[in-house]
Amino acid sequence: HALKKYFPVKNQFMTRKDLWVKAVDAVDFTVKKGEVLGIVGESGCGKSTLVNTLLFLHAPTAGTVFFDGKEIFKMKGEALRTARKDVQIVFQDPFWSLNPRWLVKDIVGEPLKVHKNLSSEAYLAAVQDIVEMVGLPRDAVYKYPHEFSGGQRQRIAIARALSVGPKLVVLDEPTSAIDVLSQSQVLALLDQLKERLKLTYIIISHDLGVVNYMASKIIVMYLGKIVEYGPAAEIFHSPKHPYTKALFHAIPGLETRSVDDLAAIAGEVPSAINPPGGCRFHPRCESCMEICRRQDPLMQMVENRQVACFLYHPPINLFKEDALGRK
């Protein structure tokens, strides 16, 4: 069920139908109940687009997304409403995602109003329970977002996502806007909540330390494609794809690893509008071979994970070359 999401590229004058941003190109993965899937990659690699597709915000150009055994873009009515409730997101910067004019009780309770019919006392008690569960005092509900620190605002954003009892929570850069101490506290909270509420997470982060701490499986994306996918511990321990290797080895000290600090990977990230032919990583790859300029490697199993790289598996014989490489 490879998932593709292309956007037509617009400029002031026209929409060019021949140009597409290949933000999510033939991405294929699964998340099981109770797992934490981490998605890593540089800015512009398609992480957000992938997640918006999962959140029912964009229909994929090709391919399908299944949630709880059902295809999400074929859902209608009650099934769709339930599925939307079951999948919640915590946005990356709670300063921008929390309405500054609303009290915490309205911010956290808003999704409840949509999905449940509660008396005002029951509503307030429900909101206070959730606020307490994320480590804030019950009277926090009578305050505005600006009265809280960055870490506390992130807790409010988490409380809002949890208020409707989701099954899958997408955490988009959940700690990027807060200080280091609050970061580790928020991560520990997310860990506890996952166990307590039996949640499944998809966590998107530039911060490899965060992904290493949280994720049981990871996806490494490059220009809209998955280049490596499998158990987090194994990929962290022995990355296979040259891009993953560069990501994990380029920056010393796991705490400070941000995938956008990658001066060590030669060259700029090419544009997703016109990705390089062949393997998309080839202009930056130290191991680039002749075949890499001509063919796009497919994902193949390599020691318990999937890797898209010709170093690990031979190219498919598209050109009907004979054994000596003649066409």
Convert residues 260-279 into a mask of x (bound to ligand SF4 by CB under 6 A) and - (unbound): -------------------x
Please report, for residues 208, 248, 255, 265, the alpha-carbon distance to residue 252 in angstroms, rounded to integers and kept in the order given.
11, 9, 9, 14
CB of 155 or CB of 280, closer to ligand SF4? 280
Please name which of 98, 39, 13 lies closest in space to residue 221, comparing C-alpha atoms: 39
d(CA 140, CA 142): 5
Contact assessment for residue 206 and residue 172, using Cβ atoms and an 8 Å cutoff? no
Distance CA 256, CA 254 (A): 5
184 binding Mg ion? (CB under 5 A): no
Q: Which of 2, 19, 31, 48 forms a contact with Mg ion (CB under 5 A)?
A: 48
Q: Which of 20, 281, 305, 306 binds ligand SF4 (CB under 6 A)?
A: 281
Residues forming beta bridges with residue 302, ordered by sequence position: 305
Q: Is 55 in the site for ligand SF4 (CB under 6 A)?
A: no
At closest approach, how far in Å is the CB of 47 from Mg ion? 6
Q: Two tokens at 134?
A: 């994320």
For residue 280, what are the CA distances in angstroms to 23, 98, 187?
Answer: 13, 38, 33
Residue 289 as a binder of ligand SF4 (CB under 6 A): the answer is: yes
Give the residue, chosen from 104, 223, 292, 299, that forms a contact with ligand SF4 under the rule CB under 6 A: 292
CA distance 18 to 121: 57
Among ligand SF4, Mg ion, none, partner that 240 touches (CB below 5 to 8 angstroms by kind): none
Q: Is 50 in the site for ligand SF4 (CB under 6 A)?
A: no
Half-sphere exposure of 152 (CA within 13 A, CB side): 14
Give the nearer residue to Mg ion in terms of CB position, either 218 or 309. Answer: 218
Residue 16 one-letter amino acid: R
Q: For the chain, what's the residue count?
A: 327
Pseudo-torsion of CA 149, 251, 297, 308, nearest 10°? -70
Site string for ligand SF4, 188-227 (x = CB under 6 A): ----------------------------------------
Q: Is 176 in the site for Mg ion (CB under 5 A)?
A: no
Q: Give the whole-angstrom CA distance, residue 71 versus residue 48.
A: 20
Alpha carbon distance 189, 282 (integer Å): 40
Binding residues with Mg ion: total (CB under 5 A): 1
**CA pair distance 272, 23, nearest whole angstrom:** 7
Q: Select from Mg ion, ligand SF4, none the partner in contact with residue 48, using the beta carbon and a kind-dependent cut-off of 5 to 8 Å.
A: Mg ion
Q: CB under 5 A: which stretch of 3-11, 23-31, 44-52, 248-256 binds Mg ion?
A: 44-52
From candidates 282, 299, 305, 306, binder to ligand SF4 by CB under 6 A: 282
List the single partner that 199 binds among ligand SF4, Mg ion, none, CB under 5 to 8 Å by kind: none
Nearest distance in Å: CB 96, Mg ion: 13
Residue numbers of the site for Mg ion (CB under 5 A)?
Answer: 48
Q: List contacts with ligand SF4 (CB under 6 A).
A: 241-242, 279, 281-282, 285, 287-289, 292, 297, 309-311
